[in-house]
A and B are shown apart, each in its own frame.
Chain A
Amino acid sequence: MNDIIKIFIDGREIEACQGEKILDAALRNNINIPNLCYDKKLSCTGSCRMCIVSIEDRPVNVPACSTVVENGMKIIAFNDKLEAERKVILDLILSMHNDDCINCVKDGSCDLQDLAFRYDLGRGKRTFHPMWGDAAEYSDSSSQVLNYDATKCIQCQKCIKACQEIQGKGILTLENRGIEAVVSTGYNQWSDSKCDGCGECAQVCPVGALTMKFVYTDGKRFRDKDISKITGTTCPYCGVGCQLDVHTNSENQIIKVTGSESLPNLGSTCVKGRFGLQYSGHKERLKSPMIRRGNSLVECSWNEALAFTAEKLKEIKSIHGGADMIAGMSSARCTNEDNYLFQKFMRTVIGTNNVDHCARICHGSTVASMLTSLGSGAMTNAIADFEKADVIFVTGSNTTETHPVIATAIKRAVLNNNARLIVADPRKIDLVRYAAVWMKQKNGTDIALANGLIHVILKESLQKDDFIKNRTEGFEELKKSVEKYTPEYVEKITGVPADKIIEAARIYGTAQRASIAWTMGITQHACGTDNVTALTNLAVITGNIGREGTGLNPLRGQNNVQGACDMGAQWDSYPGYFQVENETAKNRFESLWKTKLSSKNGIPLTEIMDAVLEGRLKSLYIMGENPAVSEPDLNHTVEALKSLDLLIVQDIFLNETAQYAHVVFPAASALEKNGTFTNTERRVIPVRKVLNMPGQAKEDWEIIQDLAAGMGYFWNYRSWEDIMKEINLVVPQYSGITPERINKGELIQWPCPDSKHPGTSILHGEKFTRGKALLQAVEHIPPAEETSEEYPFVLSTGRNLFHYHTGTMTRKSIALNSFCSDPYFEMNEDDMRELAINEGEKVKILSRRGEIIISARSSKRVEKENLFLPFHFAEAAANMLTINALDPKSKMAELKVCAVNIKRL
């Protein structure tokens, strides 16, 4: 395929790869054959006809974009006749294009304008009279984030293909035919369609037809030439870690955001990354430190805030055992450097291991399980690997909404590579449309389901015996334990028909390269660790690990939850996953940090509130978290927060948690700081300063350093690079990921042992991190809380596409709010009918722990007697209802199942 052959273009000999198109070879060699509908990332359309060339001995001209090179091919790209024809074609296109360049946002960056100039086809030079006027009736600006100007559309179909071939959505099509052909969603208007506003279409539009609305400038328009700077940085939302190009003007105002053409997102973004970054410049941003005076927080100077905090911390620390009465919540929203310093602060300055972050209620169970069975808790493969798999098993992950850009990779695998997708999810999530099999298991029955799959695989001898023999231990016990999980038995527990279990097992078991992806649907259970173990068993016995396109792929939720774990913002481990209770590890860190360390495990995040109420904790230092909305059982959480002696909140907004703070530090947002995140695939990616910080806000690591100084520890880090250099020394996985390499634009996946190492895309290739994989038998455990007559509904919480977590960032975006602004829950339409609840009606949901009032949305996605509730909305916080039942192995809370009832108001 990649053989090099020789071709001749206009007599010039050039090298081309076997199988590539003439246009690719020409453009690579700076032979600028004009084109408008061609995009390297999309299938050939061949519609603009600008790239037609002649080939010696062929009777008809061919489009260079869709003609494959042949060895010795003699191509004529430019002669008078071809150029004359191109000029006619361009003239035709211009006659159907509203060339009001003066008033077009694409002025200066329009492919058609460039070609018109190149071919000297100004208005006075054209043959064909303008005919675009009638197209105006097809223009559509009803989308929340996009504008379609049909008078400028040149029907290149790039938008349609980007939506189908890159995004896998297929929202767009051509409507009408002939001269009236226009881009359309097929609905009356754009906003009626399923378009979710990712904006991929607008990014590929070569002219000013499909453009992004100016959501960052209140609709004020700017041209690309008004952009003074483009900063490449990482999206601050989910764990995919999309690389964004943020375009700003001379006033340091964001004009627009595009996806940058690099790993992991290859140009794509979701609606949040492209249109949802308004929070950074929002008027409610914290601009000054604040301190509590009586019942209110008042602004104060940094000196006052820091001095007060340091004094108070010293005071608590001085009590006997006082260090352990202070706990820190680090943040998966902050950089690696911030997290590293935060945990170092807690461990060295305070002297406790009481540091944790939201991974505890995210993939804490994944890490706990996979560390035990494989020796590493991270995603084993790269995001790009999904497109190399022939089977993908997605379970407990509504990937389309939680990791939109990864979902597009999965959809591409299905649509473009004929990969088969298995979905296991109680809800009919979007990915079900792409699935070969959908197993609709009851909430909290994942172990039984996975054991059932293993049972069938073993029964039909689809396991990889060599792999099991050479690379695993514990197989016999596993084999014995799954004996009873016959498809029929599993059907009884899970509700999934036995034949579907068999079908899915066969698909997974016979795959060449099968990948498993999961998120909170697996982890947020009281048996979360065992859930992951069951999936691990499945992958390992079929040898679907350690190779391209395979793997166990927990999709990490927060932008830097992977990094925060790597940096040791955890109650039981130091940076690099060295266990706190391990003496050697402690010695290592004592010598690195030149101080005595506590040898005792800290308090995990999910036990912090209990510890506060029990009087074991007096102070909490919370950086970039909002437990007053995100913790399970909120009444309990708020009670705890209120009873603290010292609550330090360091955030970008005065969030719900900050209402109870004694002191508040204003921090810089991800768009205002420098440093690194580590995305879900272990790739260390740059965070670069785009905007100026508001008021007196500071970068998180600076605040921590200042506070340490107040406590008598003088660190002297001058930049993120200084901290990263220390991380290179401390965290073995990061040894070779130096600031220099990051600044050069290298996007390296850990482990990377030295500065020459290219990074590691696939873990456990030759050997598992722990040597052999440990297969562990796990048994089905029913959820902590089951339905009863009093609480007959099963409630599951989760996210929707347009908001992120507690909504502190996304709900500041008018664009995102225009898609979804108010709290709601999804309920099966039949249940709604039976209870006579109307669409949008406000009802009360009650659990044993609390109640909320919220409007109902009828849905085909949830089963009868099931409810789904997004947890983004503080005014109807899902966690008023959830249960703090903990997984004994990982301290994960069971956020995915609780029993509730519904009352009409």
Chain B
Amino acid sequence: MINSFEDFTEYSASVKEKSLNKPEINILVSLGTCGIAAGTLPVQEEFISQIKERELSSKVELTDVGCMGICYCEPSIELINRKTGKSIIYGNVKRDDVSLILDCLTEKDVKGVDVIKKSWYYPETEDATAGLLQAKIALRNTGRINPEILEEYIFNSGYQALAKVLSSMTPKSIIQEVLQSGLRGRGGGGFPTGKKWDFAAAQKNETKFVICNADEGDPGAFMDRAVLEGDPHSVLEAMAIAGFAIGSHKGFIYIRAEYPLAIKRLQIAIKQSTEFGLLGKNIMGFGFDFEIELRYGAGAFVCGEETALIHSIEGLRGMPTTRPPFPAVAGLWEKPTIVNNVETFANVCAIIRKGAQWYKSIGTETSAGTKVFALAGKINKVGLIEVPMGTNLRDIIYDVGGGIFDGKEFKAVQTGGPSGGCITKDYLDTPIDYETLKSLGSMMGSGGMIVMDEDDCMVNVAKFFLDFTVDESCGKCTPCRIGGKHMYAILDKITKGRASDKDLETLRELCQTVKSSSLCGLGMTCPNPVLSTMKYFENEYREHVADKKCKAHKCPDLITYLIDIGKCIGCSVCAKKCPVQCISGKLKEPHKIDQSKCIKCGECFMACKFAAISRN
């Protein structure tokens, strides 16, 4: 139990001291939800049993950590030599690889095991490293410490920021620090965090609330989950700092119920820090109280919108309401409330420890610091990355992301999830920050990046995202509720080759109306994928409408499979593959496709070894 500042410094020092006696080799096993899904658990088991068998426990420590971000090569482990400070990452580790790794037990390559090049550094403790594009601040502990052990967090400067603000800062100076750091809301809005805190601090009210928005709902975005699974204390600590800054004693973490592991680790973390006197009543003996409660979202995307989220916590239907008043003035139960995203909070402690100037020196002028992106789609190194603001797309996709899958041609990248827009190759060299993305018709959003290649049909992509937002519309305001459905209907018509030029006109006008007249961010941004694809890929739309063609061959209604009689040798492989038996013909005679029955699955096209089947 920590009852004073001295207790805390003493405890931190003892943690450091204790680590000196730890085994020389530390093996980090990636046990986020993603790692577990990819099969890390059997690997972990194998390590445990072999370390026991080989009596290596004095030499080797096994540490369960959260996601390292290298999803493309899970299960992954990192081997660290505590003496030399050097480390090596092994990817795609299989059970059989364990003995090979333990045989070697150095930070060297092991024959037969994939070695992954580390592509990041930690700006808080390391200088910028040449050739490494990634700089981890929000993810500084994720994949590095055991999230269920408080000591490990403390070892990595945990709760020092809180100790600092309680011992030597005023609420005003904290807000100044955050303001000057240039930190902006990482949930997508990009509103200056310090300003938000300042509004709430200025409200004269005995009761105020701090809410952490962990209702991560964008398809393809998982940075918040990674932080909560890998480094839950960093969020708790930052929330307490925010509470101290605005004069609040109660925090809520609104987390989606679909994140059971994150919930479990948060529960453990809250329990630990409360028991330790780092949360709860009279924190570290400074007389400041702050407690945190979890509230679970029931899976509605719109509850990521702050007013809807607040209503959901209040026990009401999660539906947005018009702002103003903003939550900072009248939020949860009409009390001043700040709502910040997980990633935003994850930056706060580093800013407090290292100072605003340090943070501001990273990133661009308007967008300070780093941003976590979830790289997905047709890219080689799918995963979670953190880069300084201002990094250009080309670097992200071709360097960090390892280029396009299968060597295909890059077509576009969708940023900002279903509310964002697509960016074409013409803009690959744009340094990305809040402003540049907006000017390109997209947005930062929560940081999803879905890469598309030449095989993707952009009409279909827009339809895909719209399908999501239409499904997730809460149904409150007219444009989003009904407009979204009609937008989808028109896109559907286009992909089925039944649309006219007039439909394109209607679609554009409808998108504009929905964008300008919807009640909340969900409605206002849901036309973005349509508008940006219409802007950058107008030809593709025209082809669908005028020529009834989908060049990417993604729109089944616009594809025709034909057998070239000249090339077909009548091997009947295609007929055997066809799931609906619509290919007929005698053996060794050219076959024929019954177009009325064909479901455009493409099985025949892929099965034909003689290129006798054409796709148009």
Q: At the interface, yes or no: B269 with Cβ under 8 Å from chain A?
A: no
Given contacts A63-B322, A173-B317, whether A128 and B475 have CB atoms under 8 Å apart is no
The interface bits of chain B over 485-502 (1 if a CB of A lies within 8 angstroms of the residue's CB, else 0) are 110010000000000000
**Cross-chain contact B471 with A178 (CB below 8 angstroms):** yes
- Choose, from B135-143, B430-438, B511-519, the stretch at the interface: B511-519
A61 close to B (CB within 8 Å):
yes
Q: Which residues of A contact B321 (CB under 8 A)?
A: 46
Q: Is A60 an interface residue (CB 8 A)?
A: yes
Tell me whether A722 is interfacial, beta carbon within 8 Å.
no
Q: Are A46 and B519 in contact (CB under 8 A)?
A: yes
Establish whether residues B516 and A61, one from each chain, have CB atoms under 8 Å apart when the complex forms.
yes
A62 closest partner in B (C-beta) = B322
Least distance between B487 CB and chain A CB atoms (Å): 10
Any A CB within 8 A of the CB of B182: no
Contact among B300, B470, B482, B512 with A92 in the assembled complex (CB-CB below 8 Å): B482
Task: Return the CB mask of A41-58 against B: 1 if under 8 Å, else 0.
Answer: 000111111101000000
B297 to A: closest C-beta gap in Å: 14
Smallest distance from the beta carbon of B423 to chain A beta carbons, Å?
A: 23
A85 touches B481 (CB 8 A): no
B-contact 0/1 string along A817-859, CB 8 Å cutoff: 0000000000000000000000000000000000000000000
A131 located at the interface, meaning its Cβ lies under 8 Å from any Cβ of chain B in the complex: yes
**Which of B474, B486, B513, B516 contacts A178, CB < 8 Å?**
B474
Q: 1/0 contact trace for A645-684 toward B, CB 8 Å?
A: 0000000000000000000000000000000000000000
Assuming the contacts A49-B517, A178-B471, A179-B473, asked whether A93 and B478 have C-beta atoms less than 8 A apart, the reply is: yes
Residues of A within 8 A of B302 (CB): 177
| Residues from 564 to 593 in B contacting A, C-beta threshold 8 Å | none
Among A84, A127, A179, which residue has its beta carbon within 8 angstroms of that of B481?
A179
Which B residues are in CB contact (< 8 Å) with A95? 482, 486
Is the CB–CB distance between B478 and A177 below 8 Å?
no
A416 to chain B, nearest CB (A): 12
Q: Mask for A78-119, Cβ within 8 A of B = 1, else 0? A: 000000110011001101100000000000000000000000
B24 close to A (CB within 8 Å): no
Inter-subunit contact B516/A47 (CB<8 Å): no
Taking a contact as CB atoms under 8 Å apart, the answer to whether A85 and B471 are in contact is no
Q: Are A179 and B478 in contact, with the CB atoms below 8 A? A: no
Q: Which of B472, B489, B510 contacts A88 (CB 8 A)?
A: B510
The one of B322, B324, B470, B518 that contacts A179, using a Cβ cutoff of 8 Å: B470
Q: Is B477 an interface residue (CB 8 A)?
A: yes
Write out the residue numbers on chain A whose beta carbons fall within 8 Å of the beta carbon of B470.
178-179
B87 to chain A, nearest CB (A): 47
Select the residue from A49, A68, A174 with max chain B CB neighbours within 10 A: A49
Tally of contact residues, B, Cβ under 8 A: 33
Chain A residue nearest to B469 (CB atoms) is A178
Selected from A46, A176, A177, the residue in CB contact (under 8 A) with B322 is A46
- Cα of A408 to Cα of B517 in the assembled complex, Å: 35
Known: A66-B322, A88-B513, A89-B517. A49 touches B485 (CB 8 A): no
Q: Kindly list chain B residues whose C-beta atoms are within 8 Å of the C-beta of A48.
A: 477-478
Q: B311 in the interface, Cβ–Cβ < 8 Å?
A: no
> B529 in the interface, Cβ–Cβ < 8 Å?
no
Chain A's closest residue to B473 (CB) is A178
Are B322's CB and A92's CB within 8 A?
no
Decide: B475 and A49 in contact? CB cutoff 8 A. Answer: no
A127 to B485, CA, bound (A): 14
* B317 neighbours in A (Cβ, 8 Å): 173-174
Q: Is A466 an interface residue (CB 8 A)?
A: no
B509 at the interface (CB under 8 A from A): yes
> Is A227 engaged at the interface, CB distance under 8 Å to the other chain?
no
Check if A181 is an interface residue, CB within 8 A of chain B: yes
With a CB–CB cut-off of 8 A, which chain A residues contact B473? 177-179
Nearest opposing residue in chain A for B300, CB measure = A177
Closest to B319 in A: A174
Q: How far is the CB of B456 from chain A (nearest CB, A)?
A: 26
Tell me the smallest distance from the CB of B457 to a CB of chain A, in Å. 25
* Residue in A closest to B503 when the chains form the complex, CB atoms: A127
How far, in angstroms, from A744 to B472 measured CA to CA in the complex?
Answer: 54
B479 on the interface (CB 8 Å rule)?
A: yes
**Is A92 a contact of B479 with CB atoms below 8 Å?**
yes
Interface contact B477-A179, CB-CB below 8 Å: no
A178 & B481 in contact (Cβ 8 Å cutoff): yes
Contact of A127 with B506 in the complex, beta carbons under 8 Å: yes
Q: State whether B472 touches A49 (Cβ < 8 A).
A: no
B319: which A residues are within 8 A, CB to CB? 174
Tell me, in angstroms, the Cα distance from A68 to B330 when the chains sit together: 15
Docked CA distance A645–B586 (Å): 114
Q: Which residue from A49, A66, A92, A181 sits with its C-beta under 8 Å from B474?
A: A181
Question: In the complex, which residues 102-153 of chain B have their Cβ closer than 8 Å to any Cβ of chain A?
Answer: none
**Distance of A96 Cα from B475 Cα, bound (Å):** 12
Say whether A523 faces chain B, with CB atoms less than 8 Å apart: no
Cα distance A519–B309 in the bound complex, in angstroms: 43
Say yes or no: B322 contacts A155, CB within 8 Å.
no
Is the beta-carbon distance between A176 and B475 smaller than 8 angstroms? yes
Q: Would B479 and A155 count as touching, CB distance under 8 A? A: no
Contacts of A52 in B (CB 8 A): 516-517
Q: How far is the CB of A429 from chain B (nearest CB, A)?
A: 24
- Alpha-carbon separation in the docked complex, A47 to B486 (Å): 18
Find out whether the CB atom of B481 lies under 8 angstroms from the CB atom of A89. no
Q: Which single residue of chain A is at the shortest CB-CB distance from B477?
A: A47
Nearest B-chain residue to A89, judged by Cβ: B478
Residue A304 interfacial (CB < 8 Å): no
Q: How far is the CB of A270 from chain B (nearest CB, A)?
A: 26
Within 8 A of B (CB), among A240-296: none
Are B510 and A93 in contact, CB atoms less than 8 angstroms apart?
A: no
Confirm or deny: B483 has a beta carbon within 8 angstroms of a beta carbon on chain A: yes
Question: Are A177 and B482 in contact, CB atoms less than 8 angstroms apart?
Answer: no
Q: Which B residues lie within 8 Å of A45 (CB)? A: 476
Chain A residues within 8 Å of B485, by CB: 131, 178-179
CB of A93 within 8 A of CB of B477, answer no
Q: Inside 8 A of B486's CB, which chain A residues have their CB?
A: 92, 95, 128, 131
Closest B residue, CB atoms, query A173: B317
**B194 interfacial contact with A, CB 8 Å:** no
Cα distance A85–B513 in the bound complex, in angstroms: 6
Assess whether A180 is interfacial by the CB under 8 Å rule. Answer: yes
Q: Which residue of B lies closest to A43 (CB)?
A: B321
Is the CB–CB distance between A85 and B506 below 8 Å?
Answer: no
Closest to B323 in A: A66
Q: Residue of B at shortest CB range from A179?
A: B485
Q: Is the CB of A89 within 8 A of B479?
A: yes
B369 interfacial by beta-carbon distance below 8 Å: no
B516, A60: Cβ atoms closer than 8 Å:
yes
CA distance A174 to B475 in the complex (A): 9
- A63 to B324: give the CA distance in the assembly, Å: 11
Judge whether B519 and A47 touch: CB under 8 Å. Answer: yes
| Partner of B475 from A68, A88, A155 at Cβ < 8 Å | A155
Q: Mark contacts of A157-190 with chain B using CB atoms, 8 A cut-off: 1 yes-contact digit, 0 otherwise.
A: 1000000000000000110111111000000000
A contact residues around B483 at 8 Å (CB)? 88-89, 92
From A60, A89, A131, A176, residue with most partner B Cβ within 10 Å: A89
Q: A49-B519, A89-B513 are in contact. Are A181 and B322 (CB under 8 A)?
A: no
Besides A88-B483, A179-B470, 8 other CB < 8 A contacts?
Answer: A60-B516, A63-B322, A85-B516, A88-B509, A96-B482, A128-B482, A174-B319, A178-B475
The 19 listed contacts between A and B (C-beta, < 8 Å) are A44-B322, A47-B477, A49-B478, A49-B519, A63-B322, A68-B324, A84-B509, A88-B509, A89-B513, A92-B478, A92-B479, A96-B481, A131-B485, A154-B478, A176-B475, A177-B300, A177-B475, A178-B475, A179-B473
Would you list the 7 A-B pairs with minimal beta carbon distance, nearest first?
A: A181-B475, A178-B473, A92-B482, A46-B322, A88-B513, A66-B322, A49-B517
